Chain A
Amino acid sequence: ILNVEQSPQSLHVQEGDSTNFTCSFPSSNFYALHWYRWETAKSPEALFVMTLNGDEKKKGRISATLNTKEGYSYLYIKGSQPEDSATYLCAYHPVNDYKLSFGAGTTVTVRA
């Protein structure tokens, strides 16, 4: 069992504020780290796939960084908006293993 941990479990953010949260994963035999955004009753939406140490990816106000040597990734939301409210899941898989191992998610609630 591959241990993927996310923290915090939940956070509340004031509209307009920026926030970030973490995902930790096994650093050995790393292949890829995925971030998903999941709103209730909808499909988890793929945000990023990150494979290289030092990778930084950006999609609008959301960005992510990756450190494969120490086994962590940060997701940043700049200038949070109510529509950013969702659960953000990270998922990891090592080399030669295509099933995803998920963290428990960070649930973000943006207050207007």
Chain B
Amino acid sequence: EPEVTQTPSHQVTQMGQEVILRCVPISNHLYFYWYRQILGQKVEFLVSFYNNEISEKSEIFDDQFSVERPDGSNFTLKIRSTKLEDSAMYFCASSPDYLQNIQYFGAGTRLSVL
């Protein structure tokens, strides 16, 4: 069964460093999302992406964050200069359409900023 894959499963970085979180969505899906969950909090929306551009972003998704779909298969989230408060589980999701909007999630990347 097709699945969303995310790499790495765990990323440890120093404050101020850049990180790139990678996702391979399900191949025929058109809508892509990043969410995150800070330990002990709810899963929260970061950004949605459709037709090679951002369709919506949350307040969290400031200038330090960017997304790309560089080659038609990968979908990446970049954090330019990580802060301690960026430590969280980051989930990628993809959806084939917006009508039912079933979002299929990857297993997440745990980002630890030291």
Q: How many angstroms between the C-alpha atoms of A49 and B48 in the bound complex?
A: 19
Q: How many angstroms between the C-alpha atoms of A49 and B106 in the bound complex?
A: 18
Q: Is A98's CB under 8 angstroms from B42's CB?
A: no
Q: How many angstroms between the C-alpha atoms of A2 and B95 in the bound complex?
A: 21
Considering the complex, which residues of chain A in the window 17-66 have a beta carbon less than 8 Å from any beta carbon of chain B? 31-32, 34, 36, 41-44, 46, 49
Q: How many angstroms between the C-alpha atoms of A99 and B34 in the bound complex?
A: 10
With A43-B3, A99-B33 as contacts: A36 and B105 at CB distance below 8 Å: yes
Considering the complex, which residues of chain B in the window 40-60 have a beta carbon less than 8 Å from any beta carbon of chain A? 41-45, 48, 55-56, 58
Chain B residues whose CB sits within 8 angstroms of the CB of A102 once the complex forms: 35, 42-44
**Chain B residues engaging chain A, CB cutoff 8 angstroms:** 3-4, 31, 33, 35, 41-45, 48, 55-56, 58, 91, 95, 98, 100-108
